[in-house]
Amino acid sequence: MYKRVPSRDLVDGFDREEILGQSQNGVWNDIGNPSWKRPLPHVLVATLTSFLFGYHLGVVNDTLESISLDLGFSGSTMAEGLVVSTCLGGAFLGSIFSGWIADGLGRRRAFQLSALPMILGASMSATTSGLEGMLLGRFFVGTGMGVGPPVAALYVSEVSPAFVRGTYGSFTQIATCFGLLAALFIGIPAKKVLGWFVLTFSLGAGPVPSLLLSEIFPNRIRAKAMAVCMAVHWVINFFVGLLFLHLLELLGPQILYTIFATFCLIAVAFVKKNVVETKGKSLQEIEMALLPAV
């Protein structure tokens, strides 16, 4: 019979030799590789938080011009940048505590908790009549955005069989892209945009970082380590969202996107030299491979 237990209970008490012996005897293959159909509904439900993340991330992009007119800050690129990036500041705060919430309350309760600030923030953003209310609402939305996706990545990696973990792990990023597309679709009446290219992000490096992070950390620190990594991610995103419009006016699109492309090339070189291959390996086998030789 297939039974899931908390990851910290699964790992505590096992040393390198025990993990190696059980891996060679096929014990982990029996426990960690159930049918791909069984965890699929759970994975799909978990990706709903990533869909909401993508939606709230992109919902103001196409309507920002009309929002600025309604709330009285039209023409201020800094105020517009704050509306976009304030949710990323909230996401930084949420992601810091996401590991402790996931370990303390459990994955399912963490999902439920992440929805509450999103509901509150969306309600405030929809009913406010000033910039301050919009910023506060976006901050609350961002707090939920910071909690949900890291927990989703953890949950998907823990319930997925090794041979489909990469596929299931990409579902979270694909759901994020669908959320962005949904936001673009809803914004069509406000501004006509072409958002089809957003899907190409999920075919590239988009889904890889959250999937890889959920695999390479030891089980006993995985949730908290991911919380720290996602906090760094949100800090960088905050400054990108805050300064993007200003830099676009200052530098122009060619120079600005060349800078972005340069960072992508640096990332390619770093991955090729330093990142280990985890395809087809169980979480225990990955942990064993990363342990220093004794």
Domains of the chain: 13-290 (1.20.1250.20)
Q: Which is nearest to 185 in space by CA: 42, 62, 16? A: 62
Q: Which residue has the higher pLDDT, 154 or 11?
A: 154
pTM: 0.60
Instruction: Return d(Cα 121, Cα 164) in angstroms, integer.
Output: 35
> In 160-221, where does DSSP find H-type helix?
165-186, 198-203, 208-216
Planar angle of CA 89, 95, 99, nearest 5 degrees: 165
Q: Averaging pLDDT over each range in 32-41, 147-156, 178-187, 229-238, which range is the top one?
A: 147-156
Question: Binning pLDDT at 50, 70 and 90, where does residue 196 land?
Answer: low
Per-residue pLDDT at 24 exceeds 60: no
Q: What percent of the chain has pLDDT over 70?
A: 79
Q: Which is nearest to 53 in space by CA: 109, 128, 102, 111? A: 111
Mean pLDDT of 86-115: 85
Mean pLDDT of 42-51: 87
Q: What percent of the chain has pLDDT over 90?
A: 2
- What is the reported pLDDT for 160? 82
- For 204, residues 6+ apart whose C-beta sits below 8 A from its C-beta are none
Per-residue pLDDT at 81 exceeds 60: yes
Could you tell me if 287 and 25 are in contact, meaning their C-beta atoms sit under 8 angstroms apart?
no
State pLDDT tens for residues 226-275. 778 878 877 887 888 778 878 888 888 888 889 888 988 898 888 888 87
Q: Tell whether the torsion through CA atoms of 27, 102, 57 and 252 is positive or negative.
A: negative
Token pair in block for residue 150: 């890291």
Cα radius of gyration rounded to whole Å, the chain: 21
Instruction: Return d(Cα 127, Cα 142) in angstroms, integer.
Output: 17
Per-residue pLDDT at 16 exceeds 60: no
Instruction: Return d(Cα 32, Cα 93) in angstroms, integer.
Output: 33
